[in-house]
A and B are shown apart, each in its own frame.
Chain A
């Protein structure tokens, strides 16, 4: 209660400083105009920069979570394998990424890998007008076709980075399963892949759900960093809006609220998942 009072006092103090000392003119309307605007031609509401940025961030979060989960699951399993080569690969991957600051990793990835790799894979030559690309689903899932390569490099970068941490969570989950479970599975003649799929992974996943949720929320928040390689997500566009309008406080408070809503929603979904998983094991 005392803590809550303290926080409230701090907010009031900051607000007072902003108003009376900086003589700041609050004007939400200009910033809100960048969330959505009325299209002059059609007369309908359309999303503007901030909302578009939020959508891109959601797309990044969605695909990033899936991609990072897949990479993390495979690498995490390799960490526990008997095969030395697989252990070396996964260990190197984890150590490399965990011991480089995210910012540095992103620059290295962007300038050395994606700028070399993507043209080699023919990603730059994708026909933007082909029906595979120029359709409603593609726009919904990946955003503007013109920005696709840009989006992909941001996505892969983010997923690779977060997957290193997921790898370690998965490894811990697999190793937390009692040796007796492996033995019992083997004793009834399950093959290794069946053993993993039916016995080990289902139990490991239930155990690692809470740290996994935390990591996925971190992924959403870390997606802000890839604004530095010009991926047009929320933070990148917010910088532009703040610069254009000069309304720094309003812009960033609004953006913070958007991130909060997104992460909180994600945490809520995961908490429900966890409860459901908990019910069936007991």
Chain B
């Protein structure tokens, strides 16, 4: 039996008034696959992954997650969102709750899990991101890197089948980045399906099965990381990689 694709996007279009944000995007991600999306800012990378869990609605095309079609304004979107974890550039932890409560609120409210079970689950994931000793603190008391690791644990607590990362290291100080990437790599080794928007090319080389290069709302090139970084086929990709290396 061939594994059915976990995320299936075809002919996706999205526009704001007369500005086209995404145009004719087709992308299939299989269970266990790791896809890195890169491209210049404003190329629609974030918009694309935000469509997958419908933080943004699309106008045309279809998105299927674990076989279920995702539509803007649909009822029961919560059931799909529990399969899709998301990590944001700016962490977005809930500042009025302890770290532990940040992690347990999702399982308790969405999955109807008991408080004790949710706590046990949360501690397990906090251990995984090596931050369990901070469980009773509040988010603003933690460093950026720690907060992002908590955010990863919060998403994992929903036991999702796919994880979306929206530039998870872009808001971090350089010395904090390594810890977050390490957690992400461990996650990848454990077999999690991941779609990662990032400029961390080292991470892409080590972890990605495929690199998707986007520009101006379109997918320009899709290739395995080695091929993409050493011999990009399109001029736009060459230009982008040149700029990345130059700085």
Instruction: List residues of chain A with CB under 8 Å of any chain B CB.
Output: 178, 180-181, 183-191, 194, 198-199, 202-203, 206, 280-282
Question: A190 near B110 (CB under 8 angstroms)?
Answer: yes
One of B55, B81, B92, B138 near A181 (C-beta < 8 A):
B92
Question: A282 near B110 (CB under 8 angstroms)?
Answer: no
Check if B105 is an interface residue, CB within 8 A of chain A.
Answer: yes
Question: B138 near A184 (CB under 8 angstroms)?
Answer: no
- Nearest B residue to A198 by beta-carbon distance? B105
Check if B204 is an interface residue, CB within 8 A of chain A.
Answer: no
Within 8 A of A (CB), among B126-164: 138, 140-141, 151, 154-155, 157-158
Question: How far does the alpha carbon of A22 sit from the alpha carbon of B190 in the complex, in Å?
Answer: 92
Question: B141 near A282 (CB under 8 angstroms)?
Answer: yes
Residues of B with C-beta under 8 A to A190: 78, 105-106, 109-110
Question: B88 near A180 (CB under 8 angstroms)?
Answer: yes
22 pairs of residues in contact across A and B, judged by CB atoms under 8 Å: A181-B94, A183-B55, A184-B86, A184-B94, A186-B53, A187-B81, A187-B88, A187-B155, A188-B81, A188-B82, A188-B157, A189-B78, A189-B106, A190-B78, A191-B78, A191-B109, A198-B109, A202-B96, A203-B96, A281-B95, A281-B96, A281-B138
Interface centre among A181, A184, A188, A203, by most chain B C-beta atoms within 10 angstroms, is: A188
One of B84, B90, B140, B155 near A180 (C-beta < 8 A):
B90
Question: A189 near B110 (CB under 8 angstroms)?
Answer: yes
- Nearest B residue to A187 by beta-carbon distance? B86
Residues of A with C-beta under 8 A to B151: 184
Question: A188 near B138 (CB under 8 angstroms)?
Answer: no
Check if B99 is an interface residue, CB within 8 A of chain A.
Answer: no
10 more A-B contacts (CB under 8 A) besides A178-B92, A185-B94, A189-B79?
A184-B151, A186-B81, A187-B85, A188-B85, A188-B154, A189-B106, A190-B106, A203-B95, A281-B96, A281-B138
Residues of B with C-beta under 8 A to A194: 109
A201 to chain B, nearest CB (A): 10
Instruction: Map CB proximity to A onto B47-66 as digits: 1 under 8 Å, 0 otherwise.
Output: 00000010100000000000
Check if B93 is an interface residue, CB within 8 A of chain A.
Answer: yes
- Nearest A residue to B55 by beta-carbon distance? A183
Question: How far does the alpha carbon of A185 sit from the alpha carbon of B151 in the complex, in Å?
Answer: 12
Question: How far does the alpha carbon of A71 sit from the alpha carbon of B96 in the complex, in Å?
Answer: 25
A225 to chain B, nearest CB (A): 37
Within 8 A of A (CB), among B93-113: 93-96, 105-106, 109-110
- Nearest A residue to B56 by beta-carbon distance? A183
Question: How far does the alpha carbon of A281 sit from the alpha carbon of B97 in the complex, in Å?
Answer: 8
- Nearest B residue to A197 by beta-carbon distance? B109
- Nearest A residue to B141 by beta-carbon distance? A282
B217 to chain A, nearest CB (A): 21
Residues of B with C-beta under 8 A to A203: 94-96
Residues of A with C-beta under 8 A to B157: 188
Question: How far does the alpha carbon of A189 sit from the alpha carbon of B155 in the complex, in Å?
Answer: 10
